[in-house]
Amino acid sequence: MEELKRPHWIKKRVSEIANIEETEKLLRSLGLHTVCEGAECPNIAECFGNKTATFMILGGVCTRQCRFCAVTKGAPEKIDGQEPANIGKASKEMNLKHIVVTSVTRDDMPDGGAEHFAKTVKEIRKHNPQSTIELLIPDLQGDWDDLKTIVNSKPDVLNHNLETVPSLYKEVRPQANYNLSLELLKKVKDFNPSIYSKSGIMLGLGEKEAEVYQVMDDLREVECDILTMGQYLRPTKEHISIKEYIHPDKFEEYKKVALQKGFKYVASGPLIRSSYNAGLAMDEME
């Protein structure tokens, strides 16, 4: 299949080179991973230039084989016991107001990394108590005790991405389950209704408009508060191909509908990513 030509609205300008280098130096000095680098995010220059980053815990190698993601896959790495404290230190050093922490999926760990997430929240609170914290977590293979461990650490936002519409799961996320992911988001509210729940999907994978609206309805059914929608960008030729570039106007239309359906905050646009400018949601919902 011939590669679609990338439209002009996808391109980003690089600036603040000194800040980018400073951010990279700090992260390297503390041995920290970021999803910005691991997932080849198109906003990395902007975010590093603004001295922000999304931390990625539990190593840099994922145990799952999702066909859309650039994160390295294979044999998982040894857990760094100093990682939670180092993220706490980095968040203070970078003067982050809103801190986003995600992870590779670690199906090899008995608790899926839940305790490590909880320790990371504790260390951020210790080093940077004025900040708000957002966790972007895997599905934990449906172990709700592990989810409870994370919820009990009391992050401000708990995010779990559906990533795409149900009909594309077999092709895009063969080791994931749409209904399980919805159930996780429901459990977040069951365990602690005061935590904001969040999810996101990629567009341009061949989904139909009606399917996107159904995902919105499904998320609202489990009281999901925040929704992000962005354009899927193919990391390499080994990854699933792009079927369509969605026009910015369509993203804006989706946003209006989502807000009408009751989401408290919606970020929708070609270069929107789950953690991109995530703190804006906290500002708007306060």
Place of tokens 């929708």: 268
Say how many CA atoms lie within 13 Å of 146 toward its Cβ. Answer: 19
- Which has more pLDDT, 22 or 48? 22
Q: What is the pLDDT of residue 42?
A: 59
Q: What is the pLDDT of residue 65?
A: 64
Place of tokens 């708990």: 158
pLDDT exceeds cutoff 80 at 40:
no
What stretches of 41-97 adopt beta strand conformation (E)? 54-57, 61-62, 72-73
pLDDT exceeds cutoff 70 at 73:
no
pLDDT exceeds cutoff 70 at 39:
no
Distance CA 46, CA 221 (A): 35
Q: What is the pLDDT of residue 71?
A: 58
pLDDT exceeds cutoff 90 at 58:
no
**pLDDT tens digit sequence for 192-249:** 999 999 999 999 999 999 999 999 999 999 999 999 999 998 777 777 889 999 999 9
- Break the chain into its structural domains and give their ranges: 8-285
Q: What is the pLDDT of residue 6?
A: 81
Quick one: tokens of 1? 């299949």
Q: What is the mean pLDDT of residues 133-140?
A: 93
Distance CA 240, CA 246 (A): 16
pLDDT exceeds cutoff 50 at 1:
no
Q: What is the pLDDT of residue 86?
A: 92
Q: For 231-269, give the DSSP string.
A: E---SSTTSPPP--PPPHHHHHHHHHHHHHTT-SEEEES
**CA 169 to chain CA mean position, Å:** 17
**pLDDT tens digit sequence for 76-99:** 778 889 999 999 999 998 888 898
Quick one: tokens of 69? 């993601």
Assign domain 8-285 to its CATH architecture.
Answer: Alpha-Beta Barrel (3.20)
Indicate the average pLDDT of the chain. 86
Q: Whole-model pTM above 0.85? A: yes
Quick one: tokens of 167? 């009909």
**CA 195 to chain CA mean position, Å:** 16
Query: Which residues are within 8 A (CB) of 185 and not within 5 positions of it... i.e. 6 or more apart?
Result: 160, 197, 199, 219, 222, 223, 224
For 135: left if phi > 0, alpha if psi spans -120 to 50, otherwise beta; the answer is beta
Q: What is the pLDDT of residue 38?
A: 47
pLDDT exceeds cutoff 60 at 123:
yes
